[in-house]
Amino acid sequence: MHLGLRVLLVFFLLCGLTAYALLRVVLGEVKPSVREVVEESLVETANLVAVLSAEALQAGGDLDALSLRLQELKARSPQAQIWGLKKDGLDLRIYLTDARGRVLLDTATPSAVGQDYSRWNDVLRTLRGEYGARASRTRYDDEGSLVLQVAAPIRNASGQLIGVASVGKPVAALDPFIARTERRVWWIGVALVLAALAMGGLLTGWLVWTVRRLRDYALQVQAGAPLAAPQLQGELGQLARAMDAMRLRLEGRSQWEQRVRALTHELKSPITALRGAGELLHEELAPADRERFARQVVEQSERLQALVERLLELSKLEAQTAPARRERLRLDQLLHEAAANEADRCQQRGLRVQGLDALPEASLLGDPEALALLLANLLGNAIDFAPAGSTIELALQPSGAQWQLTLRDHGPGVPPAALERLGEQFFSTTRPDGRKGSGLGLALARQVAALHQGGLVFEPAEPGLRVRLTLPSHSP
């Protein structure tokens, strides 16, 4: 099961169970609360009836006029709209007893006059001077026949207890109000659960989307894609930044391990040559042999020095995130200077650099030393692979907001499988003279281009290799 479904399911269960328990508690309080409110109103009504009936009881017990009035009350039809519910009848049951609990008047059961109600809790407790109330069923097996009855003492002018006035109301008359309240509570509860689920769905979606971004980032980094960490907030953002820092640290460690292995391999050959030449120089040699081995020591030492210098230069460039200097310069002039520096080598091998006289004025912002190093390495690499007496072609032209430099030699070229690896540190192909370089020259060129937000592409030229360098006309 997906992470999002698991989170949503757990959230749904928590919300559902919490809402169900809460609704059960709330709905369980609806009926008692409604009955408490009704009982409070019955207390006031009972005391009102007790006050109104006190004069009739003091006058000798003639309650006919009061009975008529109460019958008129029962016959009324108020047609009241109470919060959407219609009330068209009065459901009060009123009865009066004397000081012994004998019924003097009963609006619900007139035949009950003369009966003894002194054992009923509402009458019994009131006669004792306590609060009298009861809830009784008119039918034992029917909860709907329950009647709430509240009594109040009837006193004469001197405060003596002369009777009891009891007012009752059937619980069934409250059912429409209770049912409506329960429906409203249920609908509100369902709406709250749905709203909570919607919010939970959104939260789950955001969480899953964020986790998937982290997952995709980790998978792509594992595949070797140079990606920046996703920009996230809170703890997940801290996790993303920690993952990125860990990636950079591991990549740096891996790169240095690879670099040390490659450097060890590159150093092995000149060191071996130096050791062999040094051992031979200790022996008695002819002057020509001694000169040859001494020259070999110098050449291998220069090779080691060039390797160390390029490696140090590359490390310095890799530590930068932008060009060290930003100056207005001319790319065409840098190309002329690079060609002038290689003029002796070209003359020795009979090479001709074609296109120098047709270079346009190419103005841009950048680090002149770094760009001169880039051009020197590209041109030097082309000279190394160009056959004697051949032509090296140069072309410089605008391409949108960029300058595009094309450099082609007519050498043996590069196998298609090796094109993508050109520019990697310590990766190189064999030159026509059998020597093999360190690969640091093209790595330096690629790093300088990247610092200037440019690009370096290698293409087969059949014969030879074509290099395309693009640089923004206004570097940042």
Position 475 scores a pLDDT of 45
The two structure tokens encoding residue 268: 């092995």
- Reduced to 3 states (helix: H, G, I; strand: E, B; else coil), residue 436 is strand
Q: Which comes out higher in pLDDT, residue 8 or 261?
A: 8
Q: Which comes out higher in pLDDT, residue 23 or 124?
A: 124
C-alpha distances (whole Å) from 137 to each of 38, 93, 114, 141, 331 are: 17, 14, 22, 8, 106
Position 476 scores a pLDDT of 43
Q: Which residues pair with 455 in a beta bridge?
A: 470
Backbone φ/ψ region at 159: left (φ over 0), alpha (ψ -120 to 50), beta: left
Distance CA 378, CA 391 (A): 15
Specify whether the CB–CB gap between 107 and 74 falls below 8 A. yes
Specify whether the CB–CB gap between 408 and 396 falls below 8 A. no
Position 167 scores a pLDDT of 92
Q: How do residues 33-46 score in pLDDT, each as one tens digit?
A: 777 778 888 899 99
Please report, for the chain, the start and end positions of each structural domain, with discontinuous segments joined by +.
Answer: 3-181, 264-318, 327-472
Q: How do residues 233-262 score in pLDDT, each as one tens digit?
A: 676 677 777 777 776 666 555 555 555 555
266 has pLDDT over 90: no
For residues 111-135, give the mean pLDDT: 91
- Using 50, 70 and 90 to split pLDDT, how confident is the model at 25? low
Distance CA 246, CA 248 (A): 5
Distance CA 467, CA 454 (A): 13
The pTM (predicted TM-score) of the whole model is: 0.45
Report the run of H or E that residue 448 belongs to, with start and end: helix 440-451
Closest-CA residue to 167 (of 93, 100, 241) = 93
Closest-CA residue to 178 (of 85, 40, 80, 77) = 85
Residue type, 315: S
Q: How do residues 51-83 score in pLDDT, each as one tens digit?
A: 988 888 876 666 777 777 777 777 777 767 665
C-alpha distances (whole Å) from 351 to each of 339, 356, 413, 441 are: 11, 13, 17, 20
- Using 50, 70 and 90 to split pLDDT, how confident is the model at 14? confident
- Using 50, 70 and 90 to split pLDDT, how confident is the model at 319? low
For residues 187-196, give the mean pLDDT: 78
Q: Which of 116-125, 261-270, 323-332, 465-474 has the lowest mean pLDDT?
A: 261-270
Position 357 scores a pLDDT of 86
Q: Which comes out higher in pLDDT, residue 188 or 270?
A: 188
- Reduced to 3 states (helix: H, G, I; strand: E, B; else coil), residue 131 is coil
Distance CA 247, CA 253 (A): 10
3-class DSSP string for 36-103? HHHHHHHHHHHHHHHHHHHHHHHCCCCCHHHHHHHHHHHHCCCCEEECCEEECCCCCEEEEEECCCEE
Distance CA 91, CA 78 (A): 11
CATH 1.10.287 fits 264-318, yes or no: yes
Q: What is the mean pLDDT of the chain?
A: 77
Q: Which range among 87-91, 122-126, 288-292, 372-376 has the greatest average pLDDT?
A: 122-126
Distance CA 424, CA 252 (A): 15
Cis peptide before 463 (omega within 30 of 0): yes
- Using 50, 70 and 90 to split pLDDT, how confident is the model at 121? very high
Superfamily of domain covering 3-181: PAS domain (3.30.450.20)
CATH 1.10.630.10 fits 327-472, yes or no: no
Residue 319 CB: number of other CB atoms within 10 A? 7
Query: What is the percentage of the chain residues whose pLDDT exceeds 90?
Result: 9
